[in-house]
Each structure stands twice: as C-alpha cells, then as structure tokens.
Amino acid sequence: MILVTGASGTVGSEVVRALGAVKSRVRAGYRTRPQNVPEGVESVALDYDRPNTLRPALKDVDTLFLVSNSITPELTVVDEARHAGVKRIVKLSVLNAAEEGYIFARWHRLIEKHIEASGLEWTFLRSNGFMQNIVTYMGETIRTQSAFYSSGGNGAASHVDARDLGAVAASVLLEMGHEGQAYELTGPSAITYGQIAETLSGVLGRPIRYVPISHQQYKQALLGAGTPEPWADALVDLNRYYAEGHAAGVSPAVRRVTGRDVIPFAQFARDYAGQLR
C-alpha cells in the first residue's frame, strides 16, 4: 500500500492522479476530502495538526510519499512511519537541498537527514519552483491588473510543472531501483519573470507586466497577507536565491525517470490560461 500525504495539494494531487491511472493500491491522506478522489483510490483523514490521524493512515502502508507545507511535522511522520512498519519514504524536497544555500533548503535538508538516519529506504525528489505557483500566488493580480510582482529580479529559474513531478513520483513509488537516490527536478529551460510575462502576454492575448519589487516590499506584502514572519523570511530568501541565478540549472532527471518529454512553460501557460483570464 502506498500512502500519499498532502493529497489535495499542488503536487500531492498530481501524484494521486498518476497512481490512480495505473490502478495501484493507493491511500490518499486528506485534511479535508475533496469531491474528485480518483476511482479506486482509498481516502483517509490525515491532518498533521491532529497526530491521532497518523497511525490509522499508516496502517498496512509499506511506501510513503511525504509532502507538507510545514516542515516540522514531517519529523513526527517519519518516526510514526518507522514504528508502523513502513519500508520506504519518497520525500518531496527542494532544489539543491544538499547545499543548504537558502532557508527552505536548510529546512528540507534537516528532514532528509532525519530520514537517512531512520534506517528506512528513501528517495528524495528535489524540486525547483512549481509553474503552478504562477496561478496560485500571482493569478489574482494577473487577472485583475494584468501584472504580477516579485523580488526575484531578473534571475532565471528552471521552474517545473507539477504534473511532471506527479509523474516522477509515481514512477519512483511504483518501481524499485530508486532507493538512495536524490533527484534534482527542473523544467526543460531556465526562464526569467520577464520571459514569463512575455509568454503569458502571447497566450492570454493582452499585455502582462512583470513588476520587480524590493525584498523589503515583498516581505511587507507577505506579512500584510497574514504570512507568519519565518515563512515570509524564507520566501524572501528564496527570491534572493532566484535573483542571484542559483536556480537556473537544468536537470535531465524528469525525462530519465519518466521517459517522457518535460513540459515547457509555454505549454503550461496554454493549459492554465483559463485560470488567468
């Protein structure tokens, strides 16, 4: 049995969809169960803020896909997984986590080290930023102002489509031979926010502007939106990492693991245009 945590999230939902398509034994862990759970996928309550949901979710699970939007609970999940008899953990991590060159990398590397010390088999999926974040976090101003804002400067980053991450995760979860591997997962090319704006302009049929802002302006906007300060600092630091060009590397890992072409940003923009109009 495979348990997918964070099954309603950007990546978790794609993992569930990919696994459901091949009719594997999948249990999807949801804080709140959505209406569109794929047929044949078992759903279970799994809320990191309610530790009593962990053990029932882990019952009879041998492989765990670990993802969350908060890092600390992952330590508890790893310990509970080991006690429950889970044999293998596939963790969604972040690009260049081993280098610990930015806050998110240091947070995720802490969890990776805990998994390595657990005695369980493991695979780390170290993803660059998701293309879907354009819709999730910048979609409102794109729709209402035909503009989006970032303190990422003109640094290029090889953003990756979450659908590719779902395909990679499904392959790793279903196949042997990935144990002890850490895959750096990127899109097919590095692009700047200016190039993203140009692509969106062409797809949406109206000018879309990228508006650079300072790191301080970005932090104040995050705090104003209710983001806890540690997370605001981490997001500002991520944009610093982008601006300095550290996220521009391109990896062949998606193609190598899945055997399929990697989705370029232009294709993503066409597929998600309806959510940005």
Nearest Cα to Cα of residue 262 among 181, 161, 182: 161
Q: What total number of domains does the chain contain? A: 1
Q: Is 230 domain-assigned?
A: no
Q: Give residue-wise pLDDT tens across range 76-103.
A: 999 999 999 999 999 999 999 999 999 9
Residue 46: give its domain's CATH number.
3.40.50.720
- Residue 63: pLDDT band by 50, 70, 90 thresholds? very high
Q: Is 144 domain-assigned?
A: no
pTM of the model: 0.95
Q: Is 202 domain-assigned?
A: no
Tell me the HSE value of 141 on the side-chain side, using a 13 A CA sphere.
Answer: 13
Q: Which domain holds residue 175?
A: 2-127+161-185+249-260
- Residue 240: pLDDT band by 50, 70, 90 thresholds? very high
Residues 21 and 268: their CA atoms lie apart, in Å, by 21
Q: Give residue-wise pLDDT tens across range 208-238.
A: 999 999 999 999 999 999 999 999 999 999 9
Strands of the sheet containing 181-185, edge to edge, are: 42-45, 26-30, 2-4, 63-66, 88-94, 121-127, 181-185
Query: Environment class of residue 244 by beta-carbon count within 10 Å: exposed (0-12), middle (13-18) or buried (19+)?
Result: middle
Span 245-256, average pLDDT:
98
Q: What is the DSSP letter of 120?
A: -
Helices 103-117 and 72-84 pack at an angle, to 10 degrees, of: 20
Q: Is 107 domain-assigned?
A: yes
pLDDT computed for residue 20 by the predictor: 83
Q: Is 265 domain-assigned?
A: no
Q: Is 204 domain-assigned?
A: no
> With pLDDT > 70 as the criterion, what percentage of the chain qualifies?
99
Q: Is 78 domain-assigned?
A: yes
- Residue 31: pLDDT band by 50, 70, 90 thresholds? confident
Q: Is 82 domain-assigned?
A: yes
